[in-house]
Amino acid sequence: MKLLVCPLNGPRPVTEFAYGGEVRVSPDPDACSDAEWGNYVFNRSGSPGQKYEWWCHAASGFWFIALRDTTTDLVIATYPAEFVQTGFSRVRPQ
């Protein structure tokens, strides 16, 4: 059984988690064009790679961020949700 290390609950089987998709930054809905908003709503970076993703430990309702390689399924690091405000802007791909 595949284990994922939750920053709060420690190593748990992946079946205890819900996947929340890649961490993405919304454009300003009041300032962006319809095309930019459509791009944000629908388009995804579908190619494999190391991605920052939202994960939720379903049993505790704890959301966190995992940096995961989507080819090997290896989790490289996990971060508390605050990382979106504190560190994500430094590391996210432009």
Quote the longest CA-to-CA distance of the chain.
46
How buried is 6 (Cβ within 10 angstroms: 0-12 exposed, 13-18 middle, 19+ buried)? Answer: buried
> How far apart are the C-alpha atoms of 50 and 77, rounded to whole Å?
11
State which H helix or E strand residue 50 sits in: strand 50-57
Residue closer to another protein by CB (options 73, 92) is 73
Contact in structure between 53 and 68 (CB atoms under 8 Å): yes
Sequence letter at residue 20: G
Smallest gap from Cβ 31 to another protein, in A, equals 18
* Site map (CB under 8 A) of another protein, residues 16-55, x = contact: x-xx-xx-----------xx--xx-xxxxxxxx--x-x--
Residue closer to another protein by CB (options 29, 90) is 29
Smallest gap from Cβ 35 to another protein, in A, equals 6
Site of interaction with another protein (CB under 8 A)? 1-2, 8-9, 12-16, 18-19, 21-22, 34-35, 38-39, 41-48, 51, 53, 57-62, 70-73
